[in-house]
A = this chain, B = another copy of it.
Amino acid sequence: MSTASESADWWATAITRMAPGVVELRGIPVQELIGSVDFVSMIWLMVRGELPGECQAALLEAALVASVDHGPQAPSIAIARMTATCGVGLNNAMASGVNALGDAHGGAGQQCVEVLTEIVSSTDAGTDLTAAVAHVTSRHRYVPGFGHRFHPVDPRRDPLLTLVDRAVDDGVVTGRYLRAARAVETFLNEGRSRPVPMNIDGATAVIYAELGFAPELARGLFVLSRTVGILAHAWEETTQGMRNKGPIPRSILPTFRGESRRLPG
């Protein structure tokens, strides 16, 4: 093989084909997509390689809408806002927000898809659902996708699950991961006074798993959705014009070895 083709092959991709005057995405000329395909279907096309059905796209759309933001107390949002005050581009502020969506902040959806997949595999192999749930959840101190330190009930749970229920009724998805997730919820709440309900990560994990996305893509799609909130917050912060925003007001100075002090204005 020549070095030219070797170099080109090193960067070969099944996603994009470029030639002068030509941009094809997953084999479809871009001009056929613009104005014809909605943004959510475009997302699906890019990561999966083919266009979704309308009902599949609707379910993905609900998951993407539900996850856009959870306020500036979330590290990713606070970080994007702070970075936006430091004299960098809006893209740099967004990048640092996205960079914080790691295993402990943006990874619960991915982990929950893994948990649900393991339960479904186990029941497919003949294990009883309750036993599979007990076995799989026993390995987690906190089962990802369940419980919330702030919301007693996550307001995003019910509307998402209602849509999945409807998609099951319509034969769009099988409902196997939904069943597994509900069984986990029941199991975790048995005999508890304080409930541990399914949270946004759990409810969207159900959708991603039902739609056949790989666990890592549950993270990737959550990141994409949260990028909307990150953009909105970075932009709001930018319009306020503060420079070098620290985490707390300047009048409160964090101090060394616990001697808190309040500075004069």
Q: Which A residues contact B (CB, under 8 angstroms)?
A: 2-25, 29-31, 33-35, 37-40, 42-43, 46-47, 61-62, 64-66, 68-76, 78-79, 82-83, 85-92, 94-96, 98-107, 149-153, 155-156, 158-160, 162-163, 216-217, 219-221, 223-224, 227-229, 231-236, 238, 243-258, 260-263
Q: Are B254 and A12 in contact (CB under 8 A)?
A: yes
Residues of the B chain whose Cβ atoms lie less than 8 Å from the Cβ of A252 = 3-4, 6-8
The copy count of this chain in the complex is 4
Q: Which residues of B lie under 8 Å from residue A100 when comparing CB positions?
A: 82-83, 86, 88, 91, 96
> Do A248 and B73 touch across chains, with their CB atoms under 8 A apart?
yes
Tell me the complex Cα distance, A224–B85, Å: 20
| For the complex of A and B, 6 pairs with smallest distance between CB atoms | A87-B103, A87-B104, A17-B256, A11-B254, A88-B102, A5-B260
Verify A35–B216 contact, CB threshold 8 A: no
- CB pair A102–B86 under 8 Å, yes or no, is yes
Q: Are A38 and B35 in contact (CB under 8 A)?
A: no
Measured CA separation A252–B4 after assembly (Å) = 7
Asked if A2 and B3 sit within 8 Å, CB to CB, the answer is yes
A246-B78 in contact (CB<8A): yes
A54 CB to closest chain B CB (Å) equals 12
Cβ–Cβ < 8 Å partners of A234 in chain B: 220
Residues of B within 8 A of A22 (CB): 155
How far, in angstroms, from A214 to B263 measured CA to CA in the complex?
37
Do A86 and B73 contact each other (CB < 8 Å), given the known contacts A8-B252, A228-B224?
A: no
